[in-house]
Amino acid sequence: MRSERSPHRPVITAALALCLAGWTARIVSVLYHHHQSLAVILALAALSLLVCGWIAAALSRLPGAWGRLTAPALLGLALGWACGEAYLPDTFPTAVSLAPALGAAVLFLIVAARSPALLSRLAYAVAAGSLLFAATPTAMAWLLARDQGLTVAPPALSGATPTATLIVLLDELPATPARRIATALQQRGFSVAALEVPSVGRNTEEVLPSIFSGRSMKDGVPCGQHTVCTDRAAFAFDQLALDGMPLDIVGFYHPYCAIRGLRYCAMLDFSDGWERWLCRAKIRMAPEHFRRECQQQAAQDWMTLLADVDERAAAAPFWNDGGAMFLHLPLPHPPSATAGDPMPKQFTDNLALATQRVVGMAERLHQRFGNGFRLVIFSDHPLRTTLWCQNLVFAGTDCQHLPQELLDPRVPLMVVTTRPAPALGARLNADVLEYIGRRHP
């Protein structure tokens, strides 16, 4: 005898699918960035699915009208809120974001009260739509990404082709404070040609794919293990192939090592394990008591990442054999080793570390390659003061009175040599690839 299908099954199914769709983007981001522990994210996603299913089932079993109406109304509220978060601009006030959530809740409430059959069809439509939404980024990555090439052949500099070109990305450096780096290099006798240019994007997820693809990846987000997608284009690191001079890459946060044809590559992981999640939870429960502890942990993790990048960069074949190297340094990106200090102090400390490293690299290049080197310094985007000042870990670090130089919306692009300063024609920081070689379809 076949058992009767539960009338609550569609609502529970829709709740599970909606919850899964919410975790999909985070899981893809972890696969792409390696900035959090995949095991932790999967465990949290599984726990979340269990909780969503249990809540939907428990609400559906409430007696009378409560059971018939409460679960569908909450499903509509969750659906409307998710749609608002996904599609409404960040500039919209919270009150506006609540409108689709309340509207969907009222719609589901009316449908549940009038027609259980229509509610079932609506719930299954939500489940199908949620799964389609979760699968769309992967489909876009497959459809839009295309093979590309990069010929590594730095152009001649003052009549002489350099035997070594080092490109250093200083993460989150505005143009005005970057002048201190140029001054330090000039004081050591190097020639510096400098520009202050707009950034092609607001964050590294937009900038790095724009640099390597030659296309605007504004509003890009990870849509695959090696891929970033916008609503118009996709760039996959594993579909970029190199030829020409050998290229080494050392960095973090992006799947650089998926690029084909690299001589040497190190993509450093920055795993965000249970300790960081617990830290955030404790801050929410008792902000003042736990914030200092979490600041120290964040600083220790970041300095460990910096040390790892330094070690792998120093070991690159580039320093012996020449060619080209792309180095992504986690400086002057917050936090600094002085955890809990005001944001200007943390930035100044990290800028000093960045200056030391850049000057040291210039001197090592000169010692190893004589006049046949070129050092290119740029940044991906300005300091994201709004993001850091709203961060739970940094909220108590005096973000209210920031120096004007930290608010500069431009970023630096410098070329350092021992020869007369060349004329630079870059218009955006994405043009930095011209100093490595040339792209081709």
3-class secondary-structure state, position 304? helix
Q: Is 151 exposed, middle or buried (0-12, 13-18, 19+ CB in 10 A)?
A: middle
**Residue 223 counted as domain residue:** yes
Residue 4 has pLDDT above 80, yes or no: no
156 in the same domain as 18:
no
Q: Which of residues 106, 125, 144 is at a domain's end?
A: 144
Same domain, 243 and 312: yes
Q: Number of structural domains, the chain?
A: 2
Top-ranked range on mean pLDDT: pick from 29-38, 363-372, 382-391:
363-372
* Residues 388 and 399 sit within 8 Å (Cβ to Cβ): yes
Express as a percent the part of the chain with pLDDT over 70. Answer: 87
Name residue, tokens 């043009």: 431
- The Cβ of residue 393 has, within 10 Å, a number of other Cβ atoms equal to 24
Q: Is 172 left (phi over 0), alpha (psi -120 to 50) or beta?
A: left
- What is the average pLDDT value for the chain, to the nearest integer? 84
pLDDT band for 90, please (50, 70, 90 cuts). low
User: Residue 266 pLDDT > 90, yes or no?
Assistant: yes
- CATH code of 339's domain: 3.40.720
Q: Tell me what the mean pLDDT of segment 187-201 comes to.
A: 93
Q: Are residue 14 and residue 126 in the same domain, yes or no?
A: yes
pLDDT computed for residue 2 by the predictor? 44
| Domain boundaries, position 415 | 148-440
Q: Are residues 298 and 403 in the same domain?
A: yes
Residues 125 and 262 in one domain: no
pLDDT band at residue 112, thresholds of 50, 70 and 90? confident
Same domain, 376 and 303: yes
164 forms beta bridges with 323, 373
**Residues 222 and 88 reside in one and the same domain:** no
Place 425 in a pLDDT band, splitting at 50, 70 and 90: confident
Instruction: Examine residue 4 and state whether it is found in any structural domain, yes or no.
Output: no
229: in domain: yes
In a domain, 2, yes or no: no
Tell me the pLDDT band of 86, cut-offs 50, 70 and 90.
low
Span of 198-202, 309-313, 397-401 with lowest mean pLDDT: 397-401
**CB within 8 A of 32, min separation 6: which ones?**
222, 224, 225, 226, 227, 228, 254, 255
pTM of the predicted structure, to 2 decimals: 0.85
Looking at the predicted structure, is the pLDDT value of residue 258 above 80?
Answer: yes
Distance CA 81, CA 21 (A): 13
The pLDDT of 367-379, averaged and rounded, is: 92
